Structure 1
């Protein structure tokens, strides 16, 4: 994930007033975010489990550049304070950009900046197809446990797989699936793995052609746009009922590690 200052965007015309923020300053509240993205865990697992040749194949493929991100701490405090500053933009129908008021500036995070930071393909909106592979990877390496593996369990299964003895191409496919489903989708441990995606990766050239930048953007856009809905009112009510309630806790879904990189690049620099 690289750095750029292209997204510091000062549009012509007057700066939006704080009252036009989705959550007015007067209703801002302290929050504690739990990120569902497991970038560090997945990168370390892939590095540990794959052979040198398998790891080279992964490095040379569409997610290979993320192996450089061995450790990237997620600062929930910084991200929370950025999320509080989201402003409405236009008629609300543009799903390709988000706007935030930081000081005297309106700052944009769009799909263009997102793909620039993540290094993932922009592409057009696509729908994943159900390839008729009869769950080959699932049957061969995971005992055919259809609809019976959640994300938390898959991490343990992945670490116990004899990946170093399997076909290099299958090892690459499983590692790419693991990264896409656990990092780019960023969901809770108890959620089932995406079995359709495990079929998608078996057609590896098709999998590579998927615009992962757009798909991950659509997930993070929805997460950012909805994650604080009702939280200010909930915090105010809880604080009134219990003086010891001083912070609102919530989960943040999607590729949240890239959101953290984005705010460092676009909001702070």
Structure 2
């Protein structure tokens, strides 16, 4: 394979990689909030494996590796040029190294696309009000779920927005489409 970097060395500029994802804090809150049964249901979703991972984000290392990423046509792998060698990780390699695994349970939206969950649990917010991530986090901690399915569905939305997405909690608004009657 020829060495063709995604970001050519002449195009690089100094910068700082930041991470606003809050996986460790979200894991703590989810484990405190959900009952044992709800926690087991959540662990069967695609985000379940992250609950047992102590994730430490090393900003300089990630930045260093991304500057060495190679252009490669394979969609299920990523390659880097490090110390004169090409290192390629497939999707399965990544899952093996990180200790994650493929989830057999998929979270899907229903075709009806309603905001029933949002309305039921966050009705104190009008549709015109901005519902920022910090409000989702505060409200999530206080919620009294009507059933286990609702608990898992709202936890999936919470996990997507707070733990997985690199967003500023005070500035970014919750994507209400995520509340569209999730099927678990």
TM-score, structure 1 length as denominator? 0.55
| Distance (whole Å) between structure 1 residues aligned to residue 180 and residue 168 of structure 2 | 21
1:31–1:77 Cα contact (<8 Å) kept: no
Partner in structure 1 of residue 180 of structure 2: 199
User: RMSD of aligned C-alpha atoms?
Assistant: 2.9
| Distance (whole Å) between structure 2 residues aligned to residue 121 and residue 59 of structure 1 | 9
Deviations 1:83-117 (A, max 9, x none): 11122335xxx554432101121122444444554
Partner in structure 2 of residue 151 of structure 1: 133
2:45–2:103 Cα contact (<8 Å) kept: no
2:69–2:80 Cα contact (<8 Å) kept: yes
Partner in structure 1 of residue 26 of structure 2: 42
| Distance (whole Å) between structure 2 residues aligned to residue 182 and residue 156 of structure 1 | 11
- Where structure 1 has 5 or more consecutive residues not aligned to the other structure, the ranges are 1-12, 123-127, 205-269
Residue 37 and residue 113 in structure 1: after superposition, are their counterparts in 2 closer, same or farther (change >3 A)?
Answer: farther
1:119 to 83, 101, 114: 101
| Distance (whole Å) between structure 2 residues aligned to residue 62 and residue 83 of structure 1 | 25
| Distance (whole Å) between structure 2 residues aligned to residue 142 and residue 110 of structure 1 | 41
Q: Does 1:78 align with 2:61?
A: yes
Displacement of 1:133 in angstroms is 5.3
| Distance (whole Å) between structure 1 residues aligned to residue 115 and residue 11 of structure 2 | 50
Displacement of 1:31 in angstroms is 3.8
Partner in structure 2 of residue 107 of structure 1: 87
Displacement of 1:30 in angstroms is 5.0
2:22–2:164 Cα contact (<8 Å) kept: no
Q: Helix, strand or coil: the match of 1:101?
A: strand
Partner in structure 2 of residue 66 of structure 1: 50
Partner in structure 2 of residue 55 of structure 1: 39
Partner in structure 1 of residue 115 of structure 2: 135
Q: In proportion to residue count, which structure has more helix?
A: 1
| Distance (whole Å) between structure 2 residues aligned to residue 141 and residue 74 of structure 1 | 32
| Distance (whole Å) between structure 1 residues aligned to residue 14 and residue 113 of structure 2 | 48
Residue 85 and residue 133 in structure 1: after superposition, are their counterparts in 2 closer, same or farther (change >3 A)?
Answer: closer
Q: Does 1:173 align with 2:153?
A: yes
